[in-house]
Structure 1
Amino acid sequence: MFRAAGIAGIHGSGKTALAQKVFVHDKAKDNFAIRLWVCVGPPDSEDRFNLLYRMLDNLGLDTAKVEDDIVAKSNVVRQATEEEVKRIMNDKKEQEELRKKAKEEMAKEKKTAGDGDGDGQQPQADADTPKAKEEEEEEERIFNELLKKEVDKSTAVQKSKIGRRFLFFEYTYNNAIAITDLQCDDDILHNNTHHDHVELKETHAWHAHAGVLLYILHVTLSKTSYLIVFDDIRVYGADGWYSNLTLPPPPEGEWGDRLAYGLPKWTKHKGAVLVTCRKEDDAKFMVRTGHVFHPPELKEKDAWKLFEREYKQAKKDAAAANNNEKQQPEKEEDDVLLKDLEKIQVHIVEKCLGLPVAIIEAAKGFALLDPLPPTINVPAGDSDYALKEEAAAAAAAGTKPTTRAEDHQTNKHREEDDDE
């Protein structure tokens, strides 16, 4: 059984938070043996190889070793390897050198194990004894290992693995890999008139490489139940590589055509994929089931809880940045600014449109502000209250009132004289 669903919403709408709730839910833990969270983002959506390699690495696979095994089975590499082995075996001098190295390696192993005598000479066993046969087999094993290393690093084999070849992978109904090779001539590779031809071959090589990685992913996931979350994934390219994740792999053809082919379906194990996208069309393009959800906007109560949490955390971070770690944290009842903000929490949430990211940024911004000055209750009908306060403060300080206050008093006396 396989299921696919999507979560769509603008940046900061809470897509990732909603996906995390699904990912850590007890039902998800009980139903899926493998839970894989893949943070994609813009660069990795374009770099498909990096996306596949990271998935395989997170599953604990040594992709380099697996790829080497697959490449080693290709016709051109196998042929080059066989020819190099024949060349070494027909070259008596080179073969004798490898035999000598094998004996030296065997002597070192015996010396390490403590089987040799004091002067480093090894005791000779009779040719017909079981021990002699074991030594002969061990020496042959070491010789074959040295031969393999010598063949692998030879120029002929290295050239067969890189450069002028492309691997094409076809998969049979029983998931076996049939590998064929295309050997390109030098004039095709270096002649600009054949640029389109070479570009076509490189496209096939890309699909072949991607097909190998997707096949490895498919085989690994098919062994157990799995849940994969592609967070912030986007659709790049018009080739449909990201489309319809519910499609099963093709019985024939290229496995590298779609990401969906790496996700097992209809096996005895459960499989599920959850994608988060900024565009609803991208989510529908991938899941193709209609199961595309939108994270709900935060209501006033939940939004204000988030605001308070981020506000207090920002206050602590600011105190730590100012080397005030030992300072006693400000009590909530002493935070005048937070009390003032709480009175207008409805307006703050409305301005943030219920978006978590906007609420978080607003809380961090307000946390850096100083509290508002205390409000002065001015007696009703007393327009000269501020001037009187200014004059009283000046008198207490033993200075003259400000020029503005004196001018105002002078103008007032003139008005009284005019009334008389």
Structure 2
Amino acid sequence: MPEFRQSILAALLVLVSIACPAPAQTGADLNALLSGGRPAEALELARTSDLSPADLAYVEGRAALADNRLPDAIAAFRRALRLNPEARLARWYLAQALARDGQVEAALFQIDELLPEARGADERRTLLSARSRLVAQRPWGLTFGMNLQPSSNLNRATLNTEAPIFGGLVGTIDTTAEEGFSATLQAGAFRRFDLGAGALTLSGSLAATRATVDGLDRWQLGAAAAWIRPLDRGRLTLRADGLTTFYDDEIRDFTLVGLSVDREFFGERTLYRLGARVARQWYDDPGRASIYDNTSVTLTGDLRRIITPRLALRAGLAVNRTNARDPRFSYDAIRPSIGMERSWPSGWTVLGNVYYEQEWFDAPFFAFDTEKRIDRTVGLGLIVGNNSVVIRGFTPRLSCNFARTGSNVVFYDNIDVEECNLSLTRRF
């Protein structure tokens, strides 16, 4: 798509200094050669100049892209981004190379990385126009995922998936530990609609889980709709989602629906996010399980502070109010957390965090108790993943959680939870 490339080049030339912070004269000569359609000469100049490895990889990518050697161009631009994650022009040309290679999903991912920090209205319009053209090429998609979960708490019914718009939908009957192993296969489909001021995505999913604990085998159906609107140095996301489950042990069957809004702000080196979510969960069984029917409201605030291009500080605070049918399971909660994120040139990222959660329940657990129930949890979370493979191949992600809960109710005191989830997801 040569006309697609040329239409945006002028608007993004201001980013060259970020992609190629070479000496001024060398940078000007390189820009002139690349813009003038002389990539071979630019590559020769780059190899004889005192350029950084990131700058050299960028020029090699431009030369390969001009010769239509798309795999070489993609590899070179990815190498430039691994060496300098802030090389915005390299990211833009990577998006072009991916689009020309038919990897529309991966190209959209790169443009979405550029949009929140677009410099000025002209650049934002150009990027939005490029995104609209890509969405028009492939407005639909399929996902396939596998999940393996060894855990000491399989009683928590969770659908873990990397599919777009899905993820994090959790339904819980109680926190009684049941050790075991579960495996989940998930398939989904989504459809995008470009609305000019934003994008709407509708998606659906079907998952089957088999567990070693009797009664926990289940099917899950999910659906979601999300509207994302880029704003000045930020993004607004509205999302509605829901899932329903069908267990072998029918008393556990439940349905969950939720509505959430998130506002992201991009500062100089800090990402701020404010969110709110309202969720309703109910169980199909009219007897014992119905006491867990609940409505919850959660407010969250998070920040990600870049310390170096490869290291970031993460911190967050969440407050929650849950009203259950049985007041013994209604509570107020607060959860602060802090952690560090580290990435490597290979594309691997590790996020570790510690958190503390306290829940104040509305009523004593036993009728003869004089004190209301209070639970306190201290936990350690670890997430390891690699997002370099976003379309042609599986994206790996390992998440582990280690926590201990103490309570003034003996049934919930000194409960240890150790669980790990390994997910492999492929998008088609």
What's the TM-score, normalizing by structure 2?
A: 0.21
Q: Which has the higher strand share?
A: 2
Q: Which has the higher helix share?
A: 1
